[in-house]
Amino acid sequence: AQKVTQAQTEISVVEKEDVTLDCVYETRDTTYYLFWYKQPPSGELVFLIRRNSFDEQNEISGRYSWNFQKSTSSFNFTITASQVVDSAVYFCALKDSNYQLIWGAGTKLIIKP
């Protein structure tokens, strides 16, 4: 069965610290997609990134970077030099042949000034 685990319920760091959000997934499919979304206090989920199972290259976008490792079934998200505006709930999700997005429980990130 498909499953996404975000073991960190809440993380609190001081501004400018680096922070990594963990995501571990389970699927029997060889073709699948992984996603990260951000949900600020306003409530709207914002799409951040999608990776497919055949592309294990790490990706960097400004202060954001993602580390996809099939060997450990992990798709971790790192924010470098965190800012207060990064405070939000971050969700990891998986989509495979089941067609439905399987969501993790979310990690609440608090960046203190």
CB of 47 to other proteins, least distance (A): 6
How many binding residues for other proteins (CB under 8 A)? 22
Q: Which amino acid is at 72?
A: T
Residue with tokens 């399987």: 102
CB of 30 to other proteins, least distance (A): 12
- Contact flag: residue 75 with other proteins (CB under 8 A): no
Could you give the 3-state DSSP secondary structure of residue 78?
strand
Collect all residues with Cβ–Cβ distance below 8 Å to 100 and sequence separation of at least 6.
none
Calpha distance 52→35 (Å, rounded): 9
- Contact flag: residue 51 with other proteins (CB under 8 A): no
Burial environment of residue 69 by CB neighbours within 10 A (0 to 12, 13 to 18, 19 or more): exposed
Q: Which of 1, 42, 55, 62 binds other proteins (CB under 8 A)?
A: 42
- Contact flag: residue 47 with other proteins (CB under 8 A): yes
Q: Which of 8, 90, 104, 109 binds other proteins (CB under 8 A)?
A: 104
Q: Which amino acid is at 22?
A: D
Select 44 or 113, whichever has its Cβ closest to other proteins: 44
Q: State both tokens at 36.
A: 């990260």
Contact residues for other proteins, defined by CB under 8 A: 31, 33, 35, 37, 42-47, 50, 91, 95-97, 99-101, 103-106
